[in-house]
């Protein structure tokens, strides 16, 4: 079959496109002719003079305050950054000069050279080689500047943390942006000289804190000589100030109460979700990352087996042990699974399948009802509940309803979700079937169950706040850095309704009160400053004489006390420490100090003089 | 007889295109090299070596495609297009993040931009689409179907995000539809829509950053209530014209609907586009209108490029003698602004030389279109012409401030493996059409 060409290509359309092509070449050609031949001399002059160089004028990063808004937890100090302009360094002597500058400021030349090589871009863009140089040290360079051609400096605010390690796990720290971070954040307006929050609030709210940098422009001729003294400045915009929910003095009190023990403390308001204290140990001091030896300090801490960078209250999950009995009791009450006045005879032994599970008290507690079982932390009672009165699905359901097994949504990065185990989970991850013994272990909060201290605080808050769970949060207000006016305020946010009957809530709270008045915690909670309620926990980790120590509490107890006044305290002391049963002891000090408004020393002094002397300190 | 023609045709390869391609590639290597040399004569980039490798492999690729009968590509077109769409879908998810966008797919240090190769895939697919439907080519249904197919790669590439490359697919569609027999009124409608969309998007920014006095009516575009009122008015006008058309059957009312519906669609779309566009993209639009608004920031590139071009003069400063480029005042010298370096160092003569080469390429392609044996062949060539034309229009226009900065490379001259290979596969297709012009 032959098709005539007229049908294939419409001649008029072909001419139309051909005309467009010709027109394009002619118009562009004419424009080039105008620019290059007719007006070329104008541009030739301009090429001689438009050599303009610019350097950044850095914005002050927003300050971070605690809830009292009096003294900053993170602030700025004037300091200098040493730069080099590659084109101005003498040929072949780049490395030699940079090495000499590094030694002058007591830095290791290796990393400084690496930084130069990895960030040098344009030949005329200043490259940062050493950050955070104080005015005193800068004079070393300034006085001998002739020996360092191509080296210069500009002012760049340096971050300081006046309270050092007290709030380091909450506030975090900042550092120079890395090449990888820049690749990802380029479109958000970050540049190669940006300072970036690396951790905590500094990282989470970097966009609010960083403000925007300005620029200073100066003219140079084509040979690189400065022309005139003119300079034009685009002023920087300061970053916003942040006010946190953290109470600095409570944070310090809780830290000293925990002492040098690996573990964590959470204090929060159940009514709103405000986190008043978030303590971890061991900690780091971000001020030591700045200046000479800063990199070495980071590397040393990264290698520390005790993981000082781990923010334990949100990033470290462990079995909740007996504190989980609160969840069990709540389930029993809500489901009416066991009458309040009925008792179970605890003999200290619980035969199940082909195994015998023991109580922690060798010969048992004798007959106990639900309230006494929680107060005495009777394992046998809860084994019975878990295996015959409640179904496994109910235990799992109540765990989720009280916030275990999922992240709490706190505004700090790296939170872990812990684990509420289920038969399906075990099939998939352990490749074995769920057995009755797993349920027995789960009933007393052992086995595969993993929770973070913050999750336990949310669990307790839910029960205190009549079943309504609020998202725990740390950022409270954003304030204008100049006027101090509030730009926005974070509102408490409900995340879950556990849907518990008022009767259940009243009963579980009174049972927890009995733990303090007639139960396991009676001997350690010596404070008379406030009526508290809670639950102890002693977690087996498979090592003789080593246990996780948990204490989950709230205060003041009392159905007539407004919920706004109540706080929840969770202390967790890791099994890596000597066994001291320290969690309830620390909580005792924290509760007394908080409600009396005292610092650590005065709290301990007052408790020693109290009606029941502090026997353990 | 046929056998004789076939054997003869192997030696009848289109030498014009081969010669022009080689000339452009050599020029490209020269200026990629030049862009990597600093004012003090140090060679700071080995990009030119890679460009040689890509050019040489590209030539092999081009000749391979030449000797394959284009009917094979006709058969493979849907599959090729499908595979490319798949690559475009996974790129934003699995791609490498470079300067805030995910455009690259790759293993180890080897990577490719699927959005480049997707141009050829789209050309093949649309050429087949329109050649299969040539009897209904003028129908609205065909037009909407063809446009919808084109929107798929456009939206996927926008998601990367890569505004520049996403734009190229549109002229490819226009050109193939134009030669495929689409109605000019349809093509004009969609083109007017795009133009008014860009205009309404940019107007408020222009009013905010550039205009020294208040611009009337801009509020209509930025305030929701005013915009709703305007749209309601336009809607009423369309309804009335519709009624008029229904009762009187006069074509005037049809054209009224045609005219009114364009702003009715583009104004709300522009409002949405302003919400989606990033700050840096907006600034590029604004500085295109007047680079001196922000001479040290976003306008810097345009000013430096114009200065480089203008200072080149009639005969240029000589190879490797350019000042603007060697002081590295130009960003992305080897890709976006390679033509500025050429214009600076070779002057107006060099510009004319490159224009001549591209002119031959275009003329030859149109000639081959007339020789082509079937509709698919015609449309493939027209698509390749559209691709080269648009890259040339935008990239060269950008160096003299007549087009906004979008990061589109100049095909065959700019540094970059994916774009060189795409261009040469495209030329291979054109030559394949020439090669097989006597075969049925």
What is the C-alpha to C-alpha distance for residues A182 and A385, in angstroms, rounded to an integer? 55
Average pLDDT over residues A239-248: 95
With contacts defined as CB-CB under 8 Å, which chain B residues touch A31? 400, 402
With contacts defined as CB-CB under 8 Å, which chain B residues touch A183? 97-100
Greater model confidence, A320 or A117: A320
* Sign of the torsion formed by the C-alpha atoms of B27, B30, B31 and B33: positive
pLDDT of A121 above 70: no
Q: Are B267 and B200 in contact (CB under 8 A)?
A: yes
- Measure B10 CA to nearest chain A CA, in Å: 23
With contacts defined as CB-CB under 8 Å, which chain B residues touch A217? 296
Mean pLDDT over the full length of chain A: 88
With contacts defined as CB-CB under 8 Å, which chain B residues touch A184? 97, 100
Helices B417-435 and B375-399 sit at what angle, rounded to 10 degrees? 140
Contact yes or no for B309 and A36 at CB 8 A: yes
Selected for mutation to probe chain A from B38, B43, B100, B171 (highest A CB count within 10 Å) is: B100
With contacts defined as CB-CB under 8 Å, which chain A residues touch B306? 35, 43
Chain A, 369-428: which have a CB under 8 Å from a chain B CB? none
Which residue bears the tokens 């275990």? A404
φ/ψ (deg, to 5) at A329: -60, -40
DSSP H helices in A205-244: 206-209
Structure tokens at A520: 């396991």
Contact yes or no for B313 and A36 at CB 8 A: yes
| A21 interfacial to chain B (CB closer than 8 Å) | yes
Confidence of residue A555 (pLDDT cuts 50, 70, 90): very high
Q: What percent of chain A has pLDDT over 90?
A: 55
With contacts defined as CB-CB under 8 Å, which chain B residues touch A52? 296
φ/ψ (deg, to 5) at A153: -155, 155
* Per-residue confidence (pLDDT) for residue A316, from 0 to 100: 93
* Per-residue confidence (pLDDT) for residue A354, from 0 to 100: 85
| A25 interfacial to chain B (CB closer than 8 Å) | yes
Contact yes or no for B311 and A185 at CB 8 A: no
Structure tokens at A20: 């467009």
Closest CA to B87 of B127, B118, B124: B118
Average pLDDT over residues A17-27: 94
What is the C-alpha to C-alpha distance for residues B160 and B279, in angstroms, rounded to an integer? 16
What is the C-alpha to C-alpha distance for residues A550 and B289, in angstroms, rounded to an integer? 66
Contact yes or no for B296 and A215 at CB 8 A: yes
With contacts defined as CB-CB under 8 Å, which chain A residues touch B181? 10
- Measure B128 CA to nearest chain A CA, in Å: 14
* Per-residue confidence (pLDDT) for residue B108, from 0 to 100: 47
Q: Give the up-direction half-sphere exposure of residue A492: CA atoms within 13 A in the CB hemisphere.
A: 16
Contact yes or no for B178 and A8 at CB 8 A: no
With contacts defined as CB-CB under 8 Å, which chain A residues touch B177? none
Torsion of CA B376, B379, B385, B389, to 10 degrees: -150
User: For chain B, what is the HEC assignment?
Assistant: CHHHHHHHHHHHCCHHHHHHHHHHHHHHHHHHHHHCECCCCCECCCHHHHHHHHHHHHHHHHHHHHHCCHHHHHHHHHHHHHHHHHHHHHHHHHCEEECCEEEEEEECCEEECHHHHHHHHHHHHHHHHHHHCHHHCCCHHHHHHHHHHHHHHHHHHHCCCCHHHHHHHHHHHHHHHHHHCCCHHHHHHHHHHHHHHHHHHHHHHHHHHCCCCCCCCCHHHHCHHHHHHHHHHHHHHHHHHHHHHHHHCCHHHHHHHHHHHHHHHHHHHHHHHHHHCCHHHHHHHHHHHCHHHCCCCCCHHHHHHHHHHHHCCCCCCCCCCCHHHHCCCCCCCCCCCHHHHHHHHHHHHHHHHHHHHHHHHHHHHHHHHHHCCCHHHHHHHHHHHHHHHHHHHHHHHHHCCCCCCCCCCCCCCCCCHHHHHHHHHHHHHHHHHHHCCCCC
- Asked which of A231-235, A327-331, B245-249 is least confident by mean pLDDT, the reply is A231-235
* Per-residue confidence (pLDDT) for residue A3, from 0 to 100: 47
Residues in chain B with pLDDT < 50?
1, 3-4, 108
- Asked which of A252-261, A356-365, A519-528, B157-166 is least confident by mean pLDDT, the reply is B157-166
* Per-residue confidence (pLDDT) for residue A257, from 0 to 100: 95
Pairs across A and B, CB distance < 8 A:
135
Chain A, 189-248: which have a CB under 8 Å from a chain B CB? 189, 215, 217, 222, 232
Structure tokens at A131: 């950050």
Q: Are A602 and A258 in contact (CB under 8 A)?
A: no
* Per-residue confidence (pLDDT) for residue B100, from 0 to 100: 57
Note the Cα A349 to chain centre separation in Å: 43
* Sign of the torsion formed by the C-alpha atoms of A455, A456, A457 and A461: positive
Contact yes or no for B310 and A35 at CB 8 A: yes
Taking CA atoms, A594 is separated from A267, A536, A567, A600, in Å, by 10, 20, 10, 10
pLDDT of A522 above 80: yes
- pLDDT tens readout for residues A38-71: 888 888 777 765 556 667 788 899 999 999 999 8
φ/ψ (deg, to 5) at B162: -145, 85
Chain A, 50-109: which have a CB under 8 Å from a chain B CB? 50-52, 54, 87, 91
Confidence of residue A296 (pLDDT cuts 50, 70, 90): confident
Nearest by CB to A36, from B312, B385, B389: name it: B312
Q: How many CB atoms lie within 10 A of CB A166?
A: 21
With contacts defined as CB-CB under 8 Å, which chain A residues touch B403? none
pLDDT of A450 above 60: yes
Nearest by CB to B328, from A9, A122, A189: name it: A122
Contact yes or no for B279 and A189 at CB 8 A: yes
Contact yes or no for B351 and A29 at CB 8 A: yes
Contact yes or no for B100 and A183 at CB 8 A: yes
Residues in CB range of A32: below 8 A, 6 or more apart: B309, B343, B348, B351, B400
Residues in CB range of A226: below 8 A, 6 or more apart: A218, A219, A220
What is the C-alpha to C-alpha distance for residues A157 and A57, in angstroms, rounded to an integer? 10
Average pLDDT over residues A388-401: 95
């Amino acid at each position: 079959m032959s098709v005539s060409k007229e049908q294939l290509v419409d001649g008029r359309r072909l001419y139309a496109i051909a005309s467009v092509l010709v027109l394009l070449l002619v118009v562009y050609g004419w424009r080039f002719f105008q620019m290059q031949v007719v007006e070329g001399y104008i541009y030739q002059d301009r090429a001689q003079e438009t050599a303009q160089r610019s350097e950044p004028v850095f914005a002050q990063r927003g300050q971070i305050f605690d809830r009292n808004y009096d003294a900053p937890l993170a602030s700025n100090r004037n300091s200098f950054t040493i730069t080099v302009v590659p084109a101005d360094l003498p040929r072949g002597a780049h490395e030699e000069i940079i090495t000499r500058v590094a030694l002058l400021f007591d830095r290791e030349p290796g990393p400084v050279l690496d930084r130069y090589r990895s960030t040098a871009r344009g030949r005329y863009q200043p490259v940062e080689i050493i950050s955070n140089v104080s005015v005193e040290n800068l004079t070393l360079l300034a006085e001998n500047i002739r020996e360092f051609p191509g080296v210069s400096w500009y002012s760049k605010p340096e971050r300081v943390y006046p309270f050092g390690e007290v709030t380091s796990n909450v506030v975090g720290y900042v550092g120079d942006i890395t090449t990888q971070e820049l690749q990802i954040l380029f479109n958000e307006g970050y540049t190669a000289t940006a300072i970036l929050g690396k951790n905590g609030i500094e990282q989470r709210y970097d966009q609010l804190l960083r403000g925007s940098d300005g620029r200073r422009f100066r003219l140079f001729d084509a040979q690189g000589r400065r022309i005139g003294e003119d300079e034009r400045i685009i002023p920087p915009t300061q970053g916003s100030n942040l006010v946190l929910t953290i109470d600095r003095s409570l944070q310090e009190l809780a830290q000293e109460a925990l002492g040098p023990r690996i573990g964590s403390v959470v204090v929060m308001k159940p009514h709103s979700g405000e986190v008043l204290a978030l303590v971890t140990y061991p900690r780091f001091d971000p001020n030591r990352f700045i200046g000479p030896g800063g990199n070495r300090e980071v590397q040393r801490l990264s290698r520390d087996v005790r993981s000082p960078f781990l923010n334990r209250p949100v990033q470290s999950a462990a079995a909740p042990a007996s504190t989980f009995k609160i969840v069990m009791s709540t389930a029993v009450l809500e489901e009416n699974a066991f009458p309040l006045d009925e008792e179970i005879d605890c003999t200290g032994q619980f035969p199940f399948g082909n195994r015998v599970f023991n109580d922690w008290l060798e010969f048992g507690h004798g007959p106990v009802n639900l309230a006494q079982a929680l107060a005495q932390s009777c394992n046998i009672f809860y084994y019975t509940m878990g295996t015959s009165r409640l179904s496994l699905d109910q235990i799992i359901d109540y765990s989720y309803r009280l916030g275990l097994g999922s992240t709490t949504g706190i505004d700090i990065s790296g939170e872990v979700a812990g684990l509420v185990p289920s038969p399906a989970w075990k099939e998939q991850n352990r490749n074995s079937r769920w057995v009755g013994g797993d349920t027995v272990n789960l009933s007393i909060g052992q086995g595969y169950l993993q929770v973070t201290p913050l999750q336990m605080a949310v669990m307790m808050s839910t029960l205190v706040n009549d079943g309504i769970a609020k998202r725990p949060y740390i950022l409270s207000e954003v304030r204008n850095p100049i006027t101090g006016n509030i730009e926005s305020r974070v509102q408490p946010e409900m995340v879950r309704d556990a849907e518990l009957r008022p009767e259940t809530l009243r009963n579980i709270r009174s049972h927890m009160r009995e733990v303090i008045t007639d139960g396991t915690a009676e001997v350690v909670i010596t404070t008379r400053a406030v009526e508290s309620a809670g639950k102890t926990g002693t977690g087996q980790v498979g090592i003789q004489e080593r246990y996780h120590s948990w204490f989950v509490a709230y205060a003041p107890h009392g159905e007539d006390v407004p919920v706004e006044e109540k706080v929840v305290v969770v202390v967790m002391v890791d099994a890596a420490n000597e066994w001291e049963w320290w969690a309830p002891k620390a909580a005792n000090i924290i509760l007394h100090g908080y409600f009396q408004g005292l610092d650590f020393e005065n709290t301990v002094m007052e408790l020693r003089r109290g009606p029941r002397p502090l026997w353990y300190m | 007889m046929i056998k004789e023609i076939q054997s003869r045709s192997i030696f009848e390869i289109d030498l014009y295109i081969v010669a022009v391609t080689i000339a452009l590639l050599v020029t490209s290597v020269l200026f990629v090299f030049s862009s990597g040399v600093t004012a003090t004569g140090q060679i700071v980039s080995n990009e030119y070596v890679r460009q040689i490798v890509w050019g040489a492999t590209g030539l092999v690729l081009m000749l391979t495609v030449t000797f394959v009968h284009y009917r094979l590509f006709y058969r493979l077109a849907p599959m090729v297009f499908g595979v490319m769409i798949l690559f475009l879908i996974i790129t934003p998810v699995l791609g490498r993040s470079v300067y805030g966008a995910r455009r690259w797919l790759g293993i180890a240090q080897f990577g490719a931009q699927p959005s480049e190769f997707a141009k050829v895939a789209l050309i093949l697919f649309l050429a087949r689409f329109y050649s299969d439907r040539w009897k209904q080519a003028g129908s609205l249904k065909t037009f909407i179907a063809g446009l919808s197919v084109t929107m798929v790669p456009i939206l996927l590439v926008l998601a990367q995000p890569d505004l520049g490359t996403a734009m190229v697919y549109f002229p490819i569609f226009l050109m193939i539809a134009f030669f495929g027999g689409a109605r000019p009124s349809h093509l004009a409608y969609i083109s007017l829509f795009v133009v008014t969309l860009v205009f309404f998007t940019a107007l408020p920014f222009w009013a905010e950053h550039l205009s020294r006095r208040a611009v009337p009516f801009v509020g209509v575009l930025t305030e929701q209530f005013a915009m709703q009122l305007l749209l309601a008015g336009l809607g009423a006008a369309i309804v009335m014209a519709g009624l008029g058309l229904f009762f009187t059957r006069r074509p005037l009312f049809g054209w009224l609907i045609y005219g009114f519906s364009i702003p009715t669609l583009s104004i709300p779309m522009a409002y949405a586009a302003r919400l989606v566009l990033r700050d840096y993209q907006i600034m590029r639009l604004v500085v295109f209108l007047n680079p001196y608004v922000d001479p040290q920031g976003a306008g810097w590139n345009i000013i430096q490029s114009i200065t480089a071009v203008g200072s080149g003069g009639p005969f240029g400063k000589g190879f490797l003698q350019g000042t603007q480029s060697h002081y590295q005042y130009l960003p992305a010298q080897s890709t976006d602004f390679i033509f500025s370096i050429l214009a600076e160092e070779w002057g107006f003569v060099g510009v004319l030389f490159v224009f001549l080469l591209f002119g031959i390429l275009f003329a030859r392609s149109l000639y081959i279109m007339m020789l082509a044996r079937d509709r698919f062949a015609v449309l493939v060539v027209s698509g390749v012409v559209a691709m080269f034309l648009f890259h040339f229009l935008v990239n060269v226009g950008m160096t003299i401030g007549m087009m906004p900065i979008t990061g589109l490379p100049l095909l065959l001259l700019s540094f970059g493996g994916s774009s060189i290979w795409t261009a040469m596969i495209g030329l291979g297709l054109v030559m394949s059409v020439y090669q097989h012009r006597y075969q049925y």
